[in-house]
Structure 1
Amino acid sequence: MTEKITSRENAKIKYACRLAQSAAFRRSEGRFLAEGRKLCPELARGAELETLFYTETAAEKCPELETLPGEHYLVEDHVADKLADVGTHQGVFGVFHTPEHTLEEARTGGRYLALERVQDPGNVGTLLRSAAAFGFDGVLLSDGCASVWAPKTLRASMGAAVRIPVIEAGKMPEAIAALRAKGITCLAAALYKSQPLSAAEPRYPGGVCVVIGSEGQGLTEETICACNGTVRIPMTDRVESLNAGIAGSILLWHFREESL
């Protein structure tokens, strides 16, 4: 019989809440908390599910939850309310082991997305989803990016966070240098001395990395200089700029997997 948790002060509940609230704690523990009837089973396909919490209502609506691995706990509604990141939730929460990937995994001939200081969780999640959809081989995140494993980012990525390798790359200029050493062409999304996207070759034998900065600050000068060149998306003067998630997705489509 599945054990039931009735107290909001239960140690497992407090631990899960801390994972949701603190990027530093997630990093030190190598775990993250996700919520959602569809998201948790999706994440369980690519990350180890350690603990699953769900309400009786969620169990009735989704009997397949019982087939998922890990320890299972029924939680009362007021306990689920504490676990939830948003006011209206689906009553399903999972503690997962964080997949680990390093820059050494990047290979010649691959396609990569690199994000520098993209702080909006929605944009990071959207770009992860687009990178997975268009057949990219990995995503690099610089220091200062929104945490991939935060609840808001996970919801925006719709499970893509475990379907594509995510690499915490630290300082972006150094990461770009490592990619270029493997023959991967790195293209910065920037206006200065840029070529329109239509003029950029969609295929590079050694591989390609699309480098995108935040909507407000863009890429640092050091990162732009570290790249092989720059590309821009031609636009009318009706708008000043595109949302980073939208602009990045357009770029990713241009450099998509050849078979798509």
Structure 2
Amino acid sequence: MDEKITSRDNPKVKYACKLADSPGFRRSEGRFFAEGRKLCPELARGAALEQLFYTAAAAQKCPELAGLPGQHFLVEEHVAQKLAGVPAPQGVFGVFRTPQHTLDEVRRGGRYLALERVQDPGNVGTLIRSAAAFGFDGVILSEGCASPYAPKTLRASMGAAVRVPVIETGPLPPALARLRQLGIRCLAAALEHSEPLGPVPAEHPAGVCVVVGSEGQGLEGDTIAACDAAVRIPMTDRVESLNAGIAGSILLWHFREVEV
């Protein structure tokens, strides 16, 4: 029988809440917290689920939860309210071990997305999801990006953060230098001295890396200089720019692996 948690001050509940709230704690523990009836089972397909919390109502609606790995805890509604990060919680929460990926996994011929200082978790999650959808081999995040395992980012990526390798690194230029040593063509999304996306070949035998910055700040000059070329998305003058999630997804579609 699953252990029942009736107190909001239970140490396991406090630990889960701290994982949700603190990027530094997530890094030091090598774990992350997620919420959602669909999201938690999806994440369990690619990350080790260590603890699963759910309400009686959620267990009744989702009998498949009983088949998930890890320790299971039945929590009362007021405990679920403390764990919840959204106004209408679904009553299912999990603590997962964080997948570990490094630049050593980058391979010649692969397709990669690199993000620089994209701070909005919705944009980071959307771009990780798009990278998975369009067959990319990995996502590289510079320092200053939203955490890929923060609750808001996980909700936006819909579990894609464990389906495509996510590599967290420091400044982007040294990382891009490593890719270029493998022959991977690095393309900066920028306006100055750029080519329109249409004529840019989608295929490159040694691989490609699409490099995207935030909408407000764009890419650093050193980062653009570290790339092979710059590309832009042709559009009308009705708007000045697209947000990072939309612009990056268009670029990912152009350089996709799959035929659609």
**Shared fold (TM-score, shorter chain, > 0.5):** yes
Q: Using the alignment, how far apart are the partners of 1:24 and 1:146 within structure 2?
A: 12
**SS where residue 115 of structure 2 aligns?**
strand
SS state at 1:73 partner = strand
Compute the displacement of 1:144 (Å): 0.1
Identity, % of aligned positions: 75
State TM-score, norm by structure 2.
Answer: 0.99
Q: Which amino acid aligns with 2:229?
A: G
Q: Which amino acid aligns with 1:40?
A: C
Measured after TM superposition, the shift of residue 258 of structure 1 is 4.5
Q: Which residue of 1 aligns with 2:76?
A: 76
**TM-score computed with the length of structure 1 as normaliser:** 0.99
Q: Residues 185 and 204 of structure 2 are in contact (CA less than 8 Å); yes or no, is this contact kept in structure 1?
A: yes
State the match for 1:122 in structure 2. 122
Paired with 2:111 and 2:30, the residues of 1 have a C-alpha distance of 26
Correspondence list, 1:33-72, <5 A:
33-72=33-72
Aligned to 1:107: 107
C-alpha distance in 2 between matches for 1:201 and 1:68:
44
Secondary structure (helix, strand or coil) at the match of 2:60 reads helix
Q: Which amino acid aligns with 1:165?
A: P
Q: Does 1:160 align with 2:160?
A: yes
Matches within 5 A, 1:1-260: 1-260=1-260
| Cα distance in 2, alignment partners of residues 134 and 217 from structure 1 | 26
Between the aligned partners of 1:50 and 1:22, the Cα distance in structure 2 is 19
- The gaps in structure 1 that reach 5 residues or longer are none
- How big is the shift at 1:169? 1.8
Between Structure 1 and Structure 2, how many residues are aligned? 260
Q: Using the alignment, how far apart are the partners of 2:35 and 2:142 within structure 1?
A: 26
How far is the alpha carbon of 1:259 from its aligned partner? 4.1
Cα distance in 2, alignment partners of residues 258 and 8 from structure 1: 47
How far does residue 86 in structure 1 lie from its aligned partner after superposition? 1.1
**How far, CA to CA, are the matches of 2:170 and 2:80 in structure 1?**
35
Deviations 1:192-223 (A, max 9, x none): 10000001110000000000000100000000
Partner Cα separation in structure 1 for residue 177 and residue 171 of structure 2: 10
CA distance in 1 between partners of 2:104 and 2:121 (Å):
26
Instruction: Flag the 1:258–1:84 CA change in 2: closer, same or farther, 3 A.
Output: closer
Q: Is the 8 A contact 2:134 2:258 kept in 1?
A: no
